[in-house]
Each structure stands twice: as C-alpha cells, then as structure tokens.
Copies of this chain bind each other. A is one copy, B any other.
C-alpha cells in the first residue's frame, strides 16, 4: 500500500482524491499495490465531503508520518505552499504539484532540494493542466534542440477571446461571462494580464534550455485587455484568430520568451484550440512541429496529470524522475528589443502612407487586406526586417494608434 497526503483541498486537491477513488482498481493493478489518500491537510473543514474523515488541520499528521512518502501540493501561491513543499522535500517525501507560481518562482531551489533528499519534485500539471507536456518535452523530445515553443496556455483568456470572436461580445462582457461560468476569478488579473501564461512559458523555457532558469517576472508580457471587437473584425477578414500566445524561441540571435496576443492563421493547427482548451506547439530541430492539445485547466483534467505524476513517483521512488537539474544561469534570454516580429498596425484614416513609411524606414510594409471605416491598416515587418525596438521607435511618431497586434 502506498500512502499519500494532499495539501490544500481546493478544486484540484479534491479532483486528485476523486480521480484516485474513481480509478482505484486500475491504479492498484498498474502499481501492484493500492494507492491510498491517507490525509488531507487544510485549515477548513469539509463535513459534507466523502473524504471528510481524512481532513486534518495538523501538519504533523502529514510531515511526521513516515508512511506518507508522496505529498500532493495543491495549495497554490508561493507562501504556505513554498514552506510546506520545502518541509516535505527535506523529509525525503516526493512532492507533486500543479502550482505554476511556485515552480516558476522557486523551481531551482526545490528541484535541488529534492535531489539532495533523494526524492522528486514533479509538476506535469503546472503547464497545460491535463495535457502531457513537461515529460514529453523533457524526455521524448530530448534529442532535439528546441527552436520554438508557442502555446495557448491560459484557458480563461482563450475562452474570452473565443467569445469575442464567435459572438461579437466586447472584452468586458466576455470577461463577465467567463466569471459567471467560473472560468475567471473575481480578480482576473493573473489571467487577463498574462501573468499565468508568463509563469507557464518560463517553466517550459527552463526545460527547453536544459534547466537554465528563466525568471517569469522578467518576460515581456502583453495581456488581452486592449483587444477590441474591431480587432476581431480584422482577424476574421484576415482568416485568423486572435490568441494569447506564450512563446519561447531559440535562434541564432539568442533565446527569447514572451507573452502577447497574436493573429494566428486559421490554417495553423494552434487555431483549433478554442474556448478553454490549450494547445502547445513545440518545434525541434529533428522532430519539426509537434503539438499537444487538451484541457489546460479544470478539476479532473488537472488531477489526471497530478495523479500520473504520483504514480510515476510510486513506481520509481528514489530515482530521478522527469526533470533535470535546474540552475541559475544569469541572463539566459536575449533582450526582447532584438526580437524580430511582424504586426498589424491600425491608424486613423488621416495618417498618410508616407508618414508610416518615414516612421518605419527600411521596414517592409503592406496595406492590410481589410480596413475598417475611418482607419488605415498596415502589415509591418513581414519580411523579418523589424525588431521590437524598431517597432517601439516607429510608434513614437504617432499621436493616435488604434491598435498594434503581433502576427504569428
């Protein structure tokens, strides 16, 4: 019998208990022994839960119990979760988590602590929810230099953008709908400002860089709050969707990581991810493009990934599981100013084409196939001849800019 504890009985923690209960027999057959949730640590009580008898508010019940060798951390945040994770790893207990904030903030320390204590820190569920991505990237694609990762990694913003595209809702009402459906928090900033996506691409970038730590707080990030119904009209006319992409690129000019809304052609496989679905495309120098698609959040999907990690840990205790060592490596990313991009630029109709040419000298420019009334719209940098720095300088020439959206 393998005993585990769950720290934090919120949505995902509860999902973990439910998945283990639902697939109890299958899991036991696979592991050759029963997998049992022995304790659930939470300051709250859950008298109506079928798991009520397991709930404790005494942390000793978990950390001092030598039978509990695997701990699931589904508390969230980087405070108590951080303390408890360190406590568990220090005691030689493997920790499995879906906590992207903690992994992206303290991953280097926690992976190291796990190694030192001959246990594991596993976080398949921290990116892409139920979608297998961490282990495939680290393990199956190990023979590749990862040239690019481009992902729709935040379900909330993808839901909002899908509603805006399909129903013509504006941002505010699409956000309200997402909140009403429980897809967005009452304080939605972490999602709509791209913070959640930032953390996830930082984790994937670190793995793609073989453990060289990428700090999420330093990534160039644009959220979706400025996207309008008119932008959606342009997207439709261009046979594209607007998606919040989290991107890692590693080319001759260095490694870049950033988050921003992009126009993505409807012909591109990433465009098939609508509503709360996630999709992550990885481009390797041997494999070419490989894409991973599925439910990037939600109780049971996220729990699926957590319990998968728990089973891996149970089968292979005391060996290194799926993550290589993470280490501080200074500034592993190149300055975003050097990154090459192309954009759709919307300007008031009274701006002359010459003014635009002067603002963006020697940069490729073409009129957009579509222009809304009272506007001029241009595609800039299509030939890979414009950097973020050049865009920023050029934009300074204009008093009124209707919008700028990057093109994937």
Q: Which residue of B lies closest to A18 (CB)?
A: B286
Establish whether residues A304 and B284, one from each chain, have CB atoms under 8 Å apart when the complex forms.
yes
Contacts of A307 in B (CB 8 A): 142-143, 286
Establish whether residues A301 and B288, one from each chain, have CB atoms under 8 Å apart when the complex forms.
yes
A84 close to chain B: CB less than 8 A? no
Establish whether residues B142 and A290, one from each chain, have CB atoms under 8 Å apart when the complex forms.
no
Contacts of A324 in B (CB 8 A): 30
Q: CA A277 – CA B6 in complex, angstroms?
A: 41
Q: Which of A106-139 contact B (CB under 8 A)?
A: 124, 130-132, 135-136, 139
Establish whether residues A131 and B290, one from each chain, have CB atoms under 8 Å apart when the complex forms.
yes
Known: A135-B135, A307-B143. A287 touches B300 (CB 8 A): yes
Establish whether residues A26 and B210, one from each chain, have CB atoms under 8 Å apart when the complex forms.
yes
Q: Which of A52-90 contact B (CB under 8 A)?
A: none
A356 close to chain B: CB less than 8 A? no
Contacts of A139 in B (CB 8 A): 132, 135, 308, 312
Contacts of A20 in B (CB 8 A): 143
Known: A130-B286, A290-B294. A304 touches B144 (CB 8 A): yes
Q: Which of A251-289 contact B (CB under 8 A)?
A: 269, 271-273, 284-289
Contacts of A286 in B (CB 8 A): 15, 19, 22-23, 130, 300-301, 303-304, 307
Q: Count chain A residues whose beta carbon lies closer than 8 angstroms to a beta carbon of B.
A: 56
A15, A20, A130: which has the most chain B beta carbons within 10 Å?
Answer: A130
Contacts of A29 in B (CB 8 A): 210
Q: Identify the A interface with B (CB < 8 A).
A: 15, 19-20, 22-23, 26-27, 29-30, 124, 130-132, 135-136, 139-145, 210, 269, 271-273, 284-295, 298, 300-301, 303-308, 310-312, 315-316, 319-320, 324
13 chain-A/chain-B pairs, Cβ below 8 angstroms = A19-B143, A19-B286, A22-B285, A135-B135, A141-B304, A143-B306, A272-B272, A286-B301, A290-B294, A291-B291, A291-B292, A291-B293, A315-B320
